[in-house]
Amino acid sequence: SPPPLDHAEFAARFYAARSIGGDLYDFLDYGPGRVALAVGDVSGKAAPAALYAALVSGILRSLASQQLSPAALLGELNDQLQERKLDSQ
C-alpha cells in the first residue's frame, strides 16, 4: 500500500486479466515526504513474467533507500537485471 504523505492521498486497484502475470506497480518510500511510483509490464505471460516482475519490484525496493535520481535508479535497475539475465526476458 502507498506510504502516507501529509499533503497527498493515494489509492490503487489492480485487476489482472489472468490470475498471474507480469504487470506491476509499486509505491517506493524515498525518504521523508517523498514517494516514487513505479509502473511496469514485463513481456511474456503467466509465471515467468510474474517471477520477473517480482524480481524488478524487489530490486526497485532495495534501490529506493539510496534515493537515486530517476535516471540513476533506472540505470542501476537495468544493470542488476542484466546481471541476472533470465531466459529470453
Each residue's pLDDT tens digit, 43-70: 888 888 889 899 999 999 999 989 899 9
How many domains, in total, are found in the chain? 1
Q: Which domain holds residue 5?
A: 1-89
Estimate the share of the chain in helix, then strand, then coil, as percent rounded to the nearest 5: 35, 20, 45
| DSSP symbols for 20-43 | S-SEEEEEEE-STT-EEEEEEE-S
Each residue's pLDDT tens digit, 6-15: 888 887 787 7
Query: Which residue type occupies 13?
Result: R
